[in-house]
Amino acid sequence: MWDTNLTKLTISVNQKQTIIIPAKHVLLTDEALYYLLLVNLWGPAQAVCVLGIITNILNIIVFSKQGVRDTVNISLLGLATSDLGSLITVLYINISFMPDFTALDLPFVGRDVMYILSWCHVIFTRVSTWITAYITLERCLCVTAPLKVKNLFTPRRTVFYLFFVYVFMLTSVCPVFYTSRAARIFDSSNNRTLLGISFLEDRDKIERVAFMTNNTVPTLAFCTVAICTAILVSTLRKKSKWRRKATTSTAKTVVADRDGKVVKMVVLISTIFIICYFPGAAVFVVMLLDTDLRIDGFQKNMLIAIFSILFHLESINASVNIFIYLSMSSKFRLTFKNMMCFKCNKQSGCKKQNK
């Protein structure tokens, strides 16, 4: 009896020891990644990025011409600047995947430079996130507490806020830059040494701080934008109904159209913002939980593919603002038209002189 029990115990132990752990499989091969980037980065993403750079330069020029005495102009100028920075980094990332660019005899590892620029892109997008939250909060208080807004949101405080946001976002990414050091890396395919980056052994512990910060910060901004937008829309609808009852039939249409444009603009900006930025925050959470989804992890191809799509979404968000301003802001539209007409008149005058 004891021998039988011992035999059963031995068999059960052997069965536990022979459990086979399934091997990891690469979710996205190099060939599949190549064709995905071919379609995404060299086509629509690059077109949107170039368009966004042009439109944000125009935004900066228009807001500079309007002056920086108004808090809204200061905030929108800061938003255009951060959007321009994010688009410039994405432009280089898109170019770095072009076959003609990769075929160049470069002295550095392309993917390592792309990794650093990706985090620079994160800095600019997080700045844009909090500037958007600031603008939404200010507009919300303009409707709910109009007498207190001028005392709370002054031009000097707005400039200080923008400076603080830029510094804070740069500081939040510093742990990532600390764990990635410049190093000489041997490239066996070309039999040469290239300039790249090497990671510290304890990078997981240090990068957790950056990942937690870059997930918490945009989440708070999303909540701020969503809450302020809901309050703003609700308040504007109530005031619009009250004005319709209190005004004449002629003014009724004007007020309704004006309030309707404001509501549509706020809803449109917040919707585009949340759709384009929320997936990025979700990816950072997954990266925090899964160490394979890193630039040097087992599923690095999947990470590159995901970020190529995220960068495309963020480029769209940074590029469409000028069209919203032109359709919703009469002041911006007037300054923009005067600027363009001045350039056209100047060019036509130069042509007449040449003749």
Domain assignment present for residue 1? The answer is: no
For residue 127, the model assigns a pLDDT of: 92
Q: What is the pLDDT of residue 38?
A: 75
pLDDT of residue 260: 55
What pLDDT is stored for residue 300 in this prediction? 78
Residue ranges in the chain modelled with pLDDT below 70: 1-24, 26, 99, 102-103, 110, 187-192, 239-264, 266, 294-297, 342-355
How far CA 196 is from CA of 34, 182, 189, in Å, comes to 22, 6, 15
Query: Would 111 be classed as within a structural domain?
Result: yes
pLDDT at 15: 47
* Domains in the chain, number: 1
CB-count exposure of residue 78 (10 Å: 0-12, 13-18, 19+): buried
Which pLDDT score is estimated for 222? Answer: 79
The boundaries of the domain holding residue 47 are 29-178+210-334
CB-based contact 82:131 (threshold 8 Å): yes
Residue 309 sits in a domain of what CATH number?
1.20.1070.10
Please report, as a single letter, which amino acid is at residue 212.
M
* 197 domain residue, yes or no: no
Which pLDDT score is estimated for 54?
A: 94
Residue 189 lies in a domain: no
Tens digit of pLDDT for each residue in 125-172?
Answer: 889 989 989 988 888 887 777 777 778 888 899 999 999 999 998 888
User: Does 199 fall in a domain?
Assistant: no
Residue 352 amino acid letter: K
Q: In the prediction, which pLDDT does 53 show?
A: 94
Q: Is residue 78 part of a domain?
A: yes
Beta-bridge mates of residue 202: none
How distant, in Å, are the alpha carbons of 21, 266, 353 from that of 124? 42, 22, 45
SS3 108: strand
